[in-house]
Amino acid sequence: MELKVNLGPRSYPIVLDSGIAGGLSSRLKKMFPKSKFGLVTNTTIRNLYQKQIEKWKKELGLTIHVMPDGERYKTIATWSRIFDTLLKAKFERSGVIIALGGGVVGDVAGFAAATMLRGVAYVQVPTTLLAMVDSSIGGKTGVDHACGKNLIGAFHQPSLVCIDTAFLDTLTEREFLAGCAELFKYAFIGGRDMFDFVSVNKGVLIKGRSQVLLEGMRRSIEIKAGIVGLDERETGGKRMLLNFGHTFAHALEKYFSFKKLLHGEALWWGMACACALGKILKTIPASDTAAYDTLLRAMPRPKLPSIPSDCDLYSAMFFDKKVSGGKINFVVPAKPGTSVVKSGVPGETVKNVLTKVLGKSE
Q: Rule CB under 6 A: choose which of 243, 247, 283, 329 binds ligand GLY.
A: 243
x/- letters, 114..153, toward ligand GLY (CB under 6 A): --------------------x---x-x-------------
104 near ligand NAD, judged by CB under 6 A: yes
What residues are paired with 2 via a beta bridge? Answer: 15
Within 10 Å of residue 1's Cβ, how many Cβ atoms? 10
Within 10 Å of residue 58's Cβ, how many Cβ atoms? 9
Q: Rule CB under 6 A: choose which of 32, 37, 111, 167 binds ligand NAD.
A: 167
Pairing relationship of beta strands 121-126 and 160-164 according to DSSP bridges = parallel
239 near ligand GLY, judged by CB under 6 A: yes
Dist CA 329 CA 318 (whole Å): 10
CB 130 within 8 A of CB 103: yes
What residues are paired with 331 via a beta bridge? Answer: 341
128 near ligand NAD, judged by CB under 6 A: yes
The burial class, CB within 10 Å (0-12 / 13-18 / 19+), for 247 is buried
Stretch that binds ligand NAD, among 115-123, 131-139, 276-284, 316-324 (CB under 6 A): 131-139
State in Å, rounded, how far the first CA of the chain is from the last one: 43
CB 330 within 8 A of CB 345: yes
Q: Which of 234, 253, 329, 342 is catalytic?
A: 234
CB 122 within 8 A of CB 155: no
Q: Which of 65, 74, 81, 140 is catalytic?
A: 140
Secondary element (H or E) of residue 13: strand 12-17
Residue number with CB closer to ligand GLY (231 or 293): 231
242 near ligand GLY, judged by CB under 6 A: yes
41 near ligand GLY, judged by CB under 6 A: no
Residue 36 binds which entry of ligand NAD, ligand GLY, none, CB below 5-8 Å type-dependent:
none
Q: How far is the CB of 282 from ligand NAD (least distance, A)?
A: 29
CB 92 within 8 A of CB 117: yes
Q: Report, as residue numbers or ranges, the catalytic residues.
A: 118, 140, 182, 224, 234, 239, 243, 246, 250, 263
Residues at the contact surface with ligand NAD, assessed by CB under 6 A: 42, 44-45, 48, 69, 71, 74, 101-105, 107, 127-128, 130-131, 134-135, 138, 140, 149-150, 167, 170-171, 175, 178, 263-264
Q: Which residues bind ligand GLY (CB under 6 A)?
A: 134, 138, 140, 239, 242-243
